[in-house]
Structure 1
Amino acid sequence: MGSYRCECDAGFIGSDCQVYRSGFECTTTGPNSCRNGGFCSAEKNNNTCVCPPMFQGLYCEKDVDECSTSNPCENGGTCVNTEGGFVCLCTAAFEGSFCQHNDPCVSMPCLNGRCIGDPATGNFTCACDHGYTGIHCDQDIDECSEWGEALCYNGATCVNIAGSYACECPAGVTGASCDTLMEMCDPNPCQNKGICVDRLNHFECSCAEGFTGPTCGEKCPEGERCSCSANGCLNGGQCRNNGCECPTGFTGEYCEKKLSPCEMTKCPFGQICVENNKTKAVSCECPAGFTGFDCQREVDECSTNPCQHGGTCSDKLNDYHCSCPSGYSGKNCEKIVDHCATNPCLNNGLCINAARGSICHCTPAFFGEKCQFKRKPCSRSRCDNGATCRPTADFRNYTCECKPGFEGKFCEFDINECKDQPCKNGGTCYNTHGSYSCICPEGYTGKNCMENIDDCAKNPCLNNGTCIDELANFRCVCQPGFTGRTCGVDIDDCASNPCLNGATCVDGINRYECLCRRGFSGRDCHVNDDDCRPGLCLNGGRCIDAVDDYICECVRGYTGQNCQIHVDLDKFNETDKLERSLCALSGCDSKAGDGKCDSECNFYACGFDNGDCSARGEPFAKCNAASYCAHVCNNEACLFDGFDCVPTTPRCPPQVADYCRSHYADGICDNQCDLPGCAFDGGDCDTKKPTTLSGDISIVVLTTPQQFVKHVGMFLLTLSQKLRASVRIKSDEDGPLVFHWNGRPSPKRIALPKDQRLSVQFGGEIRLKRSVSNVGVLVWIEVDVSGCHGDCFSDVDTVANYLGAANAKKRQGLNPFLKDLSEMGMPIYEAIARHPDATVAVSNPDGYWAFIIGCFAILIVIATTNLLHYLKVNKCYGQDSIPIIYLDLKGQDWKT
């Protein structure tokens, strides 16, 4: 009571805030910088802010209330303080930034018009509505007295009314200006095809030829021509003998053209006829810019004082020019200059136009004369942890908008999100600064472990397989023809061996294709093509279909591939009798079947010692004419006559022979060695599809395992050349089928080098020498006849028969084939053919002691019957009718 207390601004202390407190000096930047357009000035070693007039305070942060010190608004205006300024709310009849201008139009002085006021002078001008005139637009214009008949047509009477006029129309016309004729031709009153012409309150008929009268109801006098009757005179014209006589205002042959008002008006003294477009009235007027009785006096356009707001008028010919005072523009200086047209107020400030200039009313975020200064309440904010400072609506303060994970007035507190257990599906929550993280179990992902990981997102299923997402896993539904976890495995449609008869299976996608050997066809090559055609076999021979071949079974007395050769069989009767007598002489009946091969009984007539020399079989059982050979033996049944009927295989050229021997069957194709004599480089260059005979052959070679491993390539080469086929060692999952042999098979295998080729191709000639005892190697071979042309074996039985016959002939020193193997140190002891569904009986051959007896018996026969000639002619006996030795394989597993 009776005292006061001062609340000091920052930087001042004391009872009257008179003491400056150090540490609050201003800076050019930072929280102590001057605001609202102020600038920092150094004075007495203290930096202080120099503020613009509308702000104050240590940093110019306080707005000056201009309305509190004195009221700047005139004429009773109310002052309203704003940020960085003020606004005057004026009373009626005043306007302007300070309510300094009087509005003369407030009293509405213009009774029938629009008031145009000049606040600077207090004057006004009335722009009268149509039909009124006078300073206050209070005088009605009598249009009827000034324009008369020009306003109303067709003899109508003009009646003046307040602000306008009205036309009273005579009978037959209508409309506001009585310019619309009523319809007088409906219905048509004209007879005899006359044409009706509508007139004011009446009609006229234009008669057809031969008729006349008001309605064309009268015929023309006989012998006279009615003038104008064909088309008639229009618009009230009178028909005369020389044509139509037109009334005033019309012209033309039939009075069809109406003259305009000005065409009927002649103006004196150089005046011009003017037609009113609206009323169609005409008048004679002086040219623009002139007046007077004779139009000789120039009009003074400034006489009506058209320039407003004190503008100066300058007269011109038919025009004038107003020089406007400052703040006004327009033809008559009627427009107040818009100082806001240039948008002087920045930052969306509202411009208020006035005669002396413009005033900017700023938005809360800006201040200054042109709203050029921005308020920055966030420049000294305390918002923490990356929070966003937001100014308040009046830009006097600010609030902190926290980032997720923080709270508090200044976002200074971290929120523990884990207390709400945001991690789902068993995820573990860990609180972090301003957030949290979830450790998800397998199969889940996402911020809160709510998303099942799409294991199909990377398209793991190949070959158009359909991926099915599972928890921490996926499953592929494969297209037909594919399998595997990701459908990446092409199902081998050839795995079931669908192709028969040695065909090659080519795997496809969900399908297979069989490449048949020649002679077979069908989807699975199961059809043996019939190679027999009518007329192939001659002289009554019967055609038997084979694989890509045929065989002619000839009647007795004919031979050849097509039974085309006739043979006199009777000449061999004596030979057969002689051979049977030799069998009797040697006592072969008593020796037959004793388990020993008696050479003197090893003839066709003696049954090959009842099988003792041929493993209880007949090598020439398939040959229908074992007694004559010169023309018959060259076929498979007779073992191709030992290939005596085919050309000798050429030798390897000497210039490349050594190279080809060292590079033989090394897996690399040497083109210079790809010749028949060089054994076609051991098959290194062979790309032909193999044609393997069904079954295989077991061979006992009298050599040591070491010697066999060393020369196995040469062994296969020799067999290949002599059999005219490619020979290879058979293998199973454990390796090549090569075993120890000591009078009987042994389960112990012989290991071959990994780089040893197990097959060779037909052809070639290389020899080594060695001899061994009766200990050997048992090897299983397969025969491929794809490289053979002409005389070729068709089954493994014939191959085994050929090897057995050649082995027996070798004992007589007459077969060079097995002689090569013997000199190599690898003679053949036994050979047997075997099919997948066959078994072989045990057969234990004796030694070769009977060979001496056989030779002695043969010498006796030669001495008595000239057997040498006999043997020369009958090669089936001389070379190939030799016992075949078989290996006992009972109990041996068959491997494919």
Structure 2
Amino acid sequence: MNYRNVHSTENCESNDCHVFDWLSWSVCEGNCGFQSQYRERHMCCDVYVRPHDQEHCLKHCNLDPDFPLNDTQNCRICENGGTLNILSCTCDVHYHGDCCQDVVKCSDNPCKHGTCQDTPSSFYCTCDPGYKGVDCDTRKACSDGISCQHGGSCRDTGSPGFQCHCTRKYNGEFCENALTCHDAPCLNGGICTDVGGSFQCKCPYTHTGDVCETALSCSDTPCQNLGTCSGPPGNFHCNCPPTYKGDICDTALTCHDTPCLNGGICTDVGASFQCKCPYTHTGDVCETALSCSDTPCQNLGTCSGPLGNFHCNCPPTYKGDICDTALTCHDTPCLNGGICTDVGASFQCKCPYTHTGDVCETALSCSDTPCQNLGTCSGPPGNFHCNCPPTYKGDICDTAKTCVDGPCLNGGLCNDNVPTPGFTCNCPYTYHGIICEKVKKCADNPCIHGQCQDTSTSFTCSCDPKYKGPTCNVLETCSSNPCLHGTCTDTSSGFKCTCVPQYMGLKCDTRKTCSSHPCLHGTCTDAFSGFLCRCDVSYTGTVCDTLITCASQPCQHGTCTDSPTGFKCACESSYTGVQCDTDIDQANELLLPEWFPYLEYTLLSMVSLVGVMAMGCFFLKCCQAFGVIGKKDDDDEDHENQYEDYKRYKRDSIVPLDDRKPPSFKIHTGLEF
């Protein structure tokens, strides 16, 4: 024991009598079984304590003399990989001893479930089936490849491991042993029979399974052939239906057992039987009495009477106890003159149109709407009469008329409908209706493209332009020559007229006047036969619409040049005028430079000439104005002569030398000068 003072390594400064914590244990030392280790702790003791030892320091610090300052304990070191558990070693399987110091050999019987073989280092175990581990001490699990034989199933049970659950016919750790009747395997009174290397149990009807180990209950439906079950598991009872017998109703009755009740007749059918019951009973053995609530009467027969003794009232087409036999024509079933026809095992009545029903038993009335196709009905039940619409005939208006019946009136043409029955009347335009029985009036809107006016017999139409026909339904085309003064062109909307210049209108039937401004490049004058155009000098044509070009050779004594505004003449030296038609030399003959001597003669001649011309013109105009001298009726001829008069005037005119153009020419009419 070391005694520490204030100068020791622990800090004892002003901490007299302080006891420190234990130091760590020392290393375990010694031989196996005698190993130990120790530890100690320090305390502070005043350096002035004398003698300075444990006894006096404990006394100085008022501690018990036995106060421990050191300690010793037993210990153990496990060799060869052993693990220490308190003071006991858990050794590796190849070693043993208190400190795992000894090697295990086969002489130590290490293999728990297997055979041992020594090896240089230790031993080796060959484990039995179902075990594993170095020393075969571990029971295998099912996942370790355990295979239970003969249909056995492997189940893990925790400890001690797997277990094979064998079928009832085998046992053993792996279900490898087959049971025999010697082993008395059959339970619950089952009878055992050896079969080859195994056995078979015949169980009582109350149990089942390979060894009759399972008690049957009613929930297992053991009763066959619709038998009903009652009683506890393993001791139930079957109530069998009338056709079966036995503990579980598995034996069919036969006629030998007289099963049929209530007068039923039994017939063997194979291993069973069949009962033919009277019509008042039913069931496999005729055990159930029928009532009207069971609707025993067939084919809509009506039932009356008590249970087991009912009676069927059959409909007209059937007979028998339960109306199950169809009548035939041999039974003369058809009433009211109906005609009977056999159809297979039954019949069919063809009734007169006044009756209906399977045997013509019901008289029809007008309330039954027997008349077809909108026919009207009158008369008493069973003797009514149908008034048919125009397109149908027959007792009940069920036959469509055809053209053979001559249905169309007022000259209508009849066409049979194909392939559908009936006919169609093509009526004259003054009639309409299914058979042309109605007179058309304006209220029927007959004029398709025109105005309608009623007449005493029918109507008349005033057609719109381009349409014709009694009902204005025909689009007029060029084939009818509609354009009076023009050319015609057919279009999708009818004809179209291109009029000559003097006419206009839809059919070129209106002569133009000046009010329509027909003269494009000139002045217009209304005439008796229409209008007359006086064209500008550069234009020609009836309506002054043609620009005069050099192609028409207008320049009489000169060369021509075309321009956007018409032709232009470059006259020869001796000619002048717009069209170079004035001879300058001829004009100069009257105006020679030597005219001075002849001035008096010339002036007298001119005055005389002018006077004569004026007097002649005056009398001419007066005569024309008063009708003494008539005009030409054709204004077009005046127009044709206009240009010649103009030229003649220019030739007769006296042209001044300083003017290269002739004076303008103006036509005067009436008394205008």
Specify the TM-score bucket, using the shorter chain as the normaliser.
Answer: under 0.3
Instruction: Compare CA radii of gyration and give the structure with the larger one.
Output: 2
TM-score after normalising by structure 1:
0.21
TM-score after normalising by structure 2:
0.26
